[in-house]
Chain A
Amino acid sequence: MQLKAPSKTPPARTEQIILFRVSGQLFAVSSGSVQEVRSVDTLAGSATEIVAPGLKKVRHIVRRGDRSLFVVNGAMHFGLPLTPGLLVFVLRGTRTALLIDGIEKMTTMTRLQALSQAFCSEERNWYRGLTALDQNVVPVVKPEGFLTNDEMAMLEQSLIPAEVEESAENQLAGRHS
């Protein structure tokens, strides 16, 4: 007779996260949400300055193939004192590249607590929730929360003149060649 295998308790669901700093403040992001980590220096060549009136947190775009990534200054987004960002997270599934100060470490979270309903402002779009790590509480950012649809539309709008100009220049160059 074969004995039934003892039922195992299902392993706790965990999630790999990256702890990073912006202006001294610690945040977490799911490592699955980060497509690429680049230093500011390596991006400098492919970044173009843009001006979107009323949206100070985005000053640069990075061309990636046929699409543009908007570089969001993390400190400005969270209303923290400005620091010279050193790294950029290219966030998967978004058009956001996040400028941060540095990576603290990679770790695992076992529990994500939804943001209390007492928090009832913009932060509800910023964070997936909070997690407790080593007797510390860390907000876990929402990758899609760095740019609202309105902000994205504003940025798209600010790109149009540049693209039109670029295409006009190309046409002109074609005619002269």
Chain B
Amino acid sequence: MNPATGANAWGKSVLPSRWESAQSIRVLLAPEPAPSLAASEWPVSRSGQTTLRPKTRVGGFWRRRQNRARRNRPQLPKLRRVARRVPTKTASVHTLARYYEPTSGRFLSADPAGHASSPSLYDFAGGDPVNNFDPDGRCAHGDGSPFNFNTGLIPTPGDPIVWGQNPNDPNLGGIVGRAQQWGSLGMTDADYQALADALGMGGNWANLGESEKQFFGSTAANLLQRQAAGYNIGEQWSTVVGSVPGLAMSDEQRLAFAMGMGAVGVVTGITTDKEGGPIIQPTAAKPPSIATPYAIEEQSPSEEAQAALAQAQNGATLYRTGQTGVSMTGESQYWTLENPQGPGFANGLGTPPEVQPDFVMTGKLNPGATVITNEAPGLGTNTGGGIQVVTAPGGVGNLGFHMP
């Protein structure tokens, strides 16, 4: 080692860092096994009396040894302290426009709508989640306007599937109205649990945070209203939440549920430092997805699917086909850009030629409607067929009906 610089033969400093120096001092000052000293060996003062505690030589310095009580206490093995940031795991919800972080009750990025919706660009629902709601992260619908979860738009009058923001909305009655207001009425955990049970969910709701409970009440109101309108919410409910009714829910599931139908994806595993510092990296971003009665459909990363997505969003004609008089569970969420009457449609999308469709529906994507595109499912040789367009219920409008 170079005594002048403290560097070793490779040029690297071998002098202890400030932290290591401190640790070394702690080690040097640690109690040592008490030597057995005869009375004559005890230090004696100038007046001839023995001192209270014998001195011992430590690290080149004389130091009084510790008293008996301290010396005899159990010596635990010392754990080396390492100065590092302790990662914690949180989860954030990706709304249509940006990420929401329920722990802090704020969005992680600025509102793309600007200051028009709120003085703070990061507040949820304009800082007033009781009276406002901000399902897509772009603005707060707090003016009493109902919000349509199906299309993401303010609905037209008469739309029966509407989540009303105004607690005095006459459309909100009974349990729906109560659930709507529960967030501001100090709803108990038992109330939330009862509501969850009424929806066939179960789970332990006592662990929810306050802001999440408010979301819960609002979301439940929406789903109950959909149920009252005759929709089978059971499948959607379970697929949105991603759990089987009756099972305990993970944080991720609760958060997805909390944002309800407004959540199009969930990011988990975001690492922050222990003090809640800046986000380091999202580790498990999921592609946008849409829940249908059959599955959770995710956006495909393939070029073909991305091209189809652009076509659908740019107003391309969408097609659906089937047989009249056959009821189904779905709500016309599956469409295709390919004309079913064209050649090759049957092969690509797996329609058996023996079963001829007797109607073709056409339509266009509603502005702002949630949509994803991916490969249609199939069995065996039909697997990986044509690209399908999946929308939220009611996502396609301007419908036409044709019977070939």
A binds B: no
Chain A residues near B (Cβ < 8 Å):
none
